[in-house]
Amino acid sequence: MADPLVDVRNLGVRLVTGQRETSLVDDVSFTVARGEVLCIVGESGCGKTITARSIMGLNRNDRRFSLSGQILFQGRDLMALSDAEMRGIRGTGIGMIFQDPMTSLNPLHRIGRQIGEGMRLHMKLSEAEIRERTLLLLAQVGIPNPRTRIDDYPHQFSGGMRQRAMIALALACSPALLIADEPTTALDVTTQKQILTLIARLKDTYGMGLILITHDLGIVAEIADRIMVMYAGQCVEVGPVRSVFRSPRHPYTAGLLASMPAANRGRTERLPSIRGTPPLLAEGRPQGCAFQPRCDFAFDRCAAMPLLSADDAGEGHLDRCWLPSGRLAQRDAAGEMRR
């Protein structure tokens, strides 16, 4: 197999406050190839954004965070790069779309100028060429009348249009990897769907790898090649989306899937949800399996932390659970997962 575009190995992020250090992200490993979509899911606070920001090198100079492991991008270890080299990677190698477009768009500058900024810094283009490419990008992300909108300010755009402008900005220098962190949370359902479809289409146009962080398992089912489920800062299950959806191995994954509307068509009662809440990582990850306090399948072995299991079928479906593979499916078939 060709080298992956990005290869994250044993990523750890620790939060340092005074004398105290707590682990926010622990031993997270995954790869994304060109053209591939990896979706990262998990409840709020499980470390999705910190993982994405670490790949972008956005917390590398923040003293509160101490990072370990390796982030290989096109074979280079991003953690070993200088700040200037990392800025170059952020400009041209990896693009990121954030949840709130206003974190990336400056309200004081015209949209077109902001989209052109990366090109001005990183590409050898004339001003006329930058403007032409900006118009093309605006058209590609579905902004009507780019020639009249290019000189608008962000406040003249609707929420959906601002998010489209952010996508144009992230794509300006044709990155090889796009990271989208819940890019549609602030939008209405119809616009959400349009934006996600747009991102998936542009992924193909540009031949990029895509890491999409989302709460929407329906979207995952539609566009992901692989899924990584995070819990309490750890990867608890990762694999091809079909395999994980068909036979989840971690009770947390099974719980998330059971709460998916599409999996419960025709049910009129409230959808099942996972009891309890995730641990607050700043207070320390619980001993042993972090999901144990919420798990209906916990047994004595769960007092020790399980490692990501080896995968029998060789398709890269791994889980961090002591239950023997297949146990969950048997219990689920017997109806024991349904509460």
Ligand X SMILES: Nc1ncnc2c1ncn2[C@@H]1O[C@H](COP(=O)(O)OP(=O)(O)OP(=O)(O)O)[C@@H](O)[C@H]1O
Binding segment (CB under 6 A) for ligand X, from list 158-166, 268-276, 277-285, 298-306: 277-285
What DSSP line would sit under 64-103, residue for residue? Answer: TEEEEEEEEETTEEGGGS-HHHHHHIIIIIEEEE-SSGGG
By CB under 6 A, residue 281 contacts ligand X: yes
Which of Mg ion, ligand X, none does residue 303 bind to, with CB < 5 to 8 Å depending on kind?
none
What whole-number distance in Å separates Cα of residue 240 and Cα of residue 317?
Answer: 7
Shortest Cβ distance from residue 339 to ligand X (Å)?
24
Binder to ligand X among 50, 173, 241, 244 (CB under 6 A)? 50
Q: Does 15 bind ligand X (CB under 6 A)?
A: yes
Element (H, E) at 339: none
Does residue 226 contact residue 241 with C-beta atoms inside 8 Å?
A: yes
Out of 49, 191, 194, 247, point to the residue binding ligand X (CB under 6 A).
49
Kindly write out the interface string for residues 87-116 of this chain, putting x where it contacts ligand X by CB under 6 A and - elsewhere. ------------------------------
Partner whose binding site includes residue 4, from Mg ion, ligand X, none (CB under 5 to 8 Å by kind): none
* Candidates 49-57, 218-226, 259-267, 316-324; binding stretch for Mg ion (CB under 5 A): 49-57
Question: Can you read off the two tokens belonging to residue 8?
Answer: 């994250």
Distance CA 191, CA 162 (A): 12
The angle at the Cα of 52, spanning 231 to 69, to the nearest 5 degrees, equals 80
Burial class (CB in 10 A: 0-12, 13-18, 19+), 169: buried
Is there binding between residue 41 and ligand X (CB under 6 A)?
no
186 binds ligand X (CB under 6 A): no
What distance in Å separates the CA atoms of residue 306 and residue 54, rounded to the nearest whole number? 24
| Stretch binding ligand X (CB under 6 A), from 90-98, 264-272, 276-284, 330-338 | 276-284
Token pair of 39 as six digits:
């979706």
- Number of Cβ within 10 Å of residue 125's Cβ equals 14
Q: Which does 57 bind (CB under 5 to 8 A by kind): ligand X, Mg ion, none?
A: none
* Residue selected from 4, 47, 57, 175 as contacting ligand X according to rule CB under 6 A: 47
Half-sphere exposure of residue 113: CA atoms within 13 angstroms, side-chain side: 9
Binding flag, residue 58, ligand X (CB under 6 A): no
Helices then strands, counting H and E runs in the chain, come out as 11, 11
Which of 22, 49, 68, 70 binds Mg ion (CB under 5 A)? It is: 49
CB closer to ligand X, 44 vs 82? 44
Q: Is 282 in the site for ligand X (CB under 6 A)?
A: yes
Which residues would be at the binding site for ligand X (CB under 6 A)? Answer: 15, 24, 42, 44-50, 64, 280-282
Which residues would be at the binding site for Mg ion (CB under 5 A)? Answer: 48-49
